[in-house]
Structure 1
Amino acid sequence: MQITATLNLAPAEEAEIAAILGCNAADLNTRLNACLGASINEYLAMFRGQKVFKRGSDMLEYRLLLLIETAFNGVIPDERTVSSLFQTTLTESRSLIRSVISKYQYQLRTHVERTLSASLTAASRQNNALDYTVVINSQNVVDELNKALADIDGSLSPVGKKKGSVSTYEISPSSYNRLCAKFGVPPNP
């Protein structure tokens, strides 16, 4: 079903919203349409009595789930992105993402795996004697990688923060190869 909405935004509002969504003014319509799908699905579930929430946190979790499925194209967002959309602190956003991943774990399984696979694909190393490094801006992604390692073999080295960095993580070659095998990612040399 095709749904069309018209918004009357001042140029300053357009610029502000584009900055929040991390796009330029020319791409704003596309980004808002992706969010529109999430909001319409939320209303339709409410109208049909499928999602009736008693707590505000349940509604926020459901909204984030819908955004992951639509606006984020099945990728688990990082804490800064969620903070900019939900007006929360990084700690609150981390908790919200963790709650959504846990509460909707079966529904989000393929999305979480896709996000973890993307992190593994982005990992690289300078030579065979070094660990793999990757920039990960979400503690929840690191936690999910470490959960996967624990499921594979509890004796494997965890994904850990590179000393002196803000969001660069190191993965030992053995852990990296086992994670790649689990998620079907061709390992980088």
Structure 2
Amino acid sequence: MQIAITINLSQAEEAEIAAILGCDVTALNGRLNACSLAATNEYLAMFRGQKTFKRGSDMLEYRLLLLIETTFNGVIPDERTVSSLFQTTLTESRSLIRSVISKYQYQLRGHVERTLCECLSDARRQNNTQHYTVIIKSHNIVDELNKALADIDGSLSSVTKRKGSVSTYEIAPSSYNQLCNKFAVQPNP
């Protein structure tokens, strides 16, 4: 079924919403369509009695799940992105993401692994004697990487924040290689 809606926005409103969604105005229509798909799925589940919530937090968690599946193309968003969409603090967003990853862990397993694979693919090092570095803007993703390391071998070094940086993390070569092996990622040299 195809559904079409028309929304009248001023140029200022378009610019503001595009900034919130992290895209330019030319891509806004596509981003809003993805958000509309998530919203429509939420309503359809409610209409059919598939998702009846007693708490507001349950509704927010389900809403974020739907956005991950549609708007974010299966990538787990960072806390700042969630904060801009849900009007929450970074701490509240971190908690919301963690709750969604936990509550919908089986449904999101592939999405979480895809996000972790992207992080591992982005990791680089300057030479063979240094740790790999990667920019990770989500504490939850760091936690997921460290959980994976604990599952592989509890003696491996954890993913740690580089001293003096905001969101640059270091991964020891042995840990990096084990993570790449677990998630079938081609390691960077």
* Residue type at the aligned position of 2:87: Q
Correspondence 1:161-172 to 2 at 5 A: 161-172=161-172
Distance in 2, Cα, partners of 1:46 & 1:37: 14
Deviations 1:67-100 (A, max 9, x none): 0000000000000000000000000000000000
Correspondence 1:1-189 to 2 at 5 A: 1-189=1-189
Shift of 1:2: 1.2
2:165 is paired with a residue of what secondary structure? Answer: coil
Sequence identity of aligned pairs in percent? 80
Shift of 1:10: 1.4
Distance in 1, Cα, partners of 2:166 & 2:25: 30
Shift of 1:25: 1.1
Q: What 5-or-longer segments of structure 2 have no aligned partner?
A: none
* Residue type at the aligned position of 2:105: Q
Distance in 2, Cα, partners of 1:80 & 1:169: 17
Distance in 2, Cα, partners of 1:129 & 1:159: 17
Shift of 1:161: 0.4
Deviations 1:44-63 (A, max 9, x none): 00000000000000000000
Distance in 1, Cα, partners of 2:137 & 2:118: 13
Q: What 5-or-longer segments of structure 1 have no aligned partner?
A: none
Runs of 4+ deviating beyond 4 Å:
none
Distance in 1, Cα, partners of 2:154 & 2:61: 30
TM-score, with structure 2 as normaliser: 0.99
Distance in 1, Cα, partners of 2:149 & 2:60: 30
2:169 is paired with a residue of what secondary structure? Answer: strand
* Residue type at the aligned position of 2:20: I
TM-score, with structure 1 as normaliser: 0.99
Shift of 1:12: 1.3
